[in-house]
Amino acid sequence: MTLSNHPHTRRRRLGVGAAAAGLLAALLAVSPAAATPGPGDESASRTAVSSEAAASAKKDVAAGEIPGQDEIVHSRNIEHLSNTPKDALAGTNSDLAFRGKYAFAGNYDGFRVFDLSNPKKPRTVTQVLCPGSQNDISVSGDLLFLSTDSSRSDDSCNSTTQPATEKSSWEGIKVFDISDARHPEYVASVETSCGSHTHTLVPERKDVYVYVSSYSPSATFPDCQPPHDGISVIKVPRKSPQRAKVIDFPVLFPDGGNPGGSVNPGVSATTGCHDITTLPSKDLAAGACMGDGILLDIKNPAKPRVIDRVQDNKNFAFWHSATFNQKADKVVFTDELGGGGAATCNAQVGPDKGADGIYDIVGKGDKRKLVFRSYYKIPRHQADTENCVAHNGSLIPVKGKDLMVQAWYQGGVSVWDFTDSAKPQEIAYFERGPISTDQLALGGSWSAYYYNGYIYSNDIEKGFDVLKIDDRRTDPAKRVKVGELNVQTQPDYFDKR
């Protein structure tokens, strides 16, 4: 593996013809895979591409228009400090959470705990085998939460796959005690309707409220019946997490949400939410819900309610995740065109599909509205063998600026500025060349987050990366320290109360 610090322009020739139009049509027809019974119990996949696509990837590598296979490239203001490959957990790496000196890295086979005392040499302190896609992970105090979104034989960490058509199958939330991060203890579980693809915390002093996002119901699934037009709300007492239970299932889409399909071709029908981000200091949440984006009031965390709702039936295929700016007057929504398993960062797809959508929040109280301003997509075209689309990211805390670091699967890690909502721009990047120039291989950065002066990336196949950015625009963030970070529960970085 070679390392270089010079930028590749990667501005591939457009040449859009009938074949490209057919590719785009196929991508628009693809929505993220149903949650059951996995892919969480499988290794990252590879699929054949056309001989033309393979030849194009090899030609672009040879011409220097994209990095070579597995070659690392980055902007001059990014330093790659370390990479820790996978170890005992061979499954797909997923989300990240942080507490103190520890990073908790989700994996479809369980989770791994890193000691970050020396970011140049992260040290593994434990690996917990507990299969069940996608093991979306978060922490609050001494509690760690895992999402299970594949049908299992039971709620144990020794469970096996089992069809969702069987009533005894289990999916939901698992709770661990991490008072000793080196020895996590499994203490509770809560089954939820349609499982838990992701979850989001609203931490309170005595209790933690958990918003569980899940989707894709079926009349054949006893525990995931349509309509599924809301989220599960779980209440977890901190001192007795074994008493955790579902307390409500608020309906967020009384009209059923975006119908998708024949009404809005290429758009996912809304059958639940994919992800929700809360900003507890502002009593707000933003939901990315398949065919809809929503703004919620969470002043009463047990009873979230919708303030506003938007759709983009031209360029958004699947509303995937959301990020507030610190002032809570903007939301960045991501579109996971192709479900994260397709090559959508190429000239054929273009700059507006599979991108971020930047929305201003205008008005006050219940009259607040989401107003679209612009799209942002990484400016480097990827090979047709690279899965690439907007994925998980976080704010970089700089007062007066709206800066974000974001994962793009095999598109790598992008640092960008959306202070001007209408004119977002990239200011730094890190990426690897394609895993394969012969096949479409699933890989790249699933989550890229800024935590206490460093960028941490959980790469689906390559492992855990640590990056450092040195740039006058982001340098003030190095002075901001937090004791805990769940990106889907955004902190108020500057409130000292």
pLDDT of residue 45: 73
- Identify whether the C-beta of residue 98 lies closer than 8 Å to the C-beta of residue 139: yes
The predicted pLDDT at position 16 comes to 33
User: Is 36's pLDDT higher than 90?
Assistant: no
Residue 422 has a pLDDT of 98
Q: How far is CA 353 from CA 48, 219, 372, 436, in A?
A: 23, 32, 15, 24
Closest to 487 measured CA to CA, from 229, 137, 35, 7? 137
φ/ψ of residue 103, rounded to 5: -115, 140
Query: What are the Cα distances from residue 20, in Å, to 17, 52, 181, 347, 405?
Result: 5, 11, 49, 9, 30
Q: How far apart are CA 56 and CA 488, in angstroms?
A: 38
Q: Is 11 exposed, middle or buried (0-12, 13-18, 19+ CB in 10 A)?
A: exposed
In whole angstroms, what is the distance from residue 38 CA to residue 207 CA? 31
- 64 pLDDT above the threshold of 70: yes
**pLDDT reading at 15 higher than 60:** no
Q: Note the pLDDT of residue 37.
A: 34
pLDDT score at 53: 86
Average pLDDT, rounded, for the chain: 91
Checking if the pLDDT of 416 tops 60, the result is yes
φ/ψ of residue 134, rounded to 5: -110, 15
pLDDT in tens, 89-113: 999 999 999 999 999 999 999 999 9
Per-residue pLDDT at 44: 57
Q: Would you say residue 26 has pLDDT above 80?
A: no
Q: How far apart are CA 130 and CA 176, in angstroms?
A: 11
- Could you identify the residue written with the tokens 């989401």? 370
Nearest-CA neighbor of 335 among 382, 275, 278? 275
For residue 397, is pLDDT > 60? yes
**What is the arithmetic mean of pLDDT over 221-234?**
97
pLDDT of residue 82: 98
Looking at per-residue pLDDT, the higher value among 59 and 208 belongs to: 208
pLDDT for residue 33: 33
**Burial class of residue 249 (count of CB atoms within 10 Å of its CB; 0-12, 13-18, 19+):** middle
Amino acid identity at 417:
D
Three-class SS state of 309: strand
Give the angle subtended at the CA of 427 by the CAs of 92 and 312, to the nearest 5°: 65
- Cα separation, 358 vs 471, in Å, equals 23
- Yes or no: say if 42 and 150 are a contact pair by the CB < 8 Å rule: no
Residue pLDDT, tens place only, 134-180: 999 999 999 999 999 999 999 999 999 999 999 999 999 999 999 99
Over residues 359-364, the mean pLDDT reads: 98
Is the separation of the CB atoms in 56 and 383 below 8 Å?
Answer: yes
Residue 347's region, left for phi above 0, alpha for psi from -120 to 50, else beta, is alpha
The reported pLDDT for the residue numbered 30 is 36
* 340 neighbors 348 (Cβ within 8 angstroms): no
DSSP 8-state symbol, 373 = E
Q: Which of 23-27, 191-195, 217-221 has the lowest mean pLDDT?
A: 23-27
Confidence grade of residue 496 (pLDDT, cut at 50, 70, 90): low
Instruction: Retrieve residue 233's tokens.
Output: 């709300």
Q: Give CA–CA dist 442/456, Å, rounded.
A: 20
Give every CB contact of residue 302 below 8 A, 6+ residues apart in sequence: 209, 233, 235, 247, 248
Contact 282, 335 (CB under 8 A): no
pLDDT digits (tens, 9 = 90+) for 331-342: 999 999 999 999
Dist. CA 365–CA 298, nearest whole Å: 12
Distance CA 51, CA 153 (A): 42
DSSP state of 74: E
Name residue, tokens 């790598």: 412
Q: How many helices (H) and strands (E) does the chain have?
A: 2, 32
Q: What is the largest CA-CA distance in the chain?
A: 62
Residue 475: both structure tokens together: 């340098």
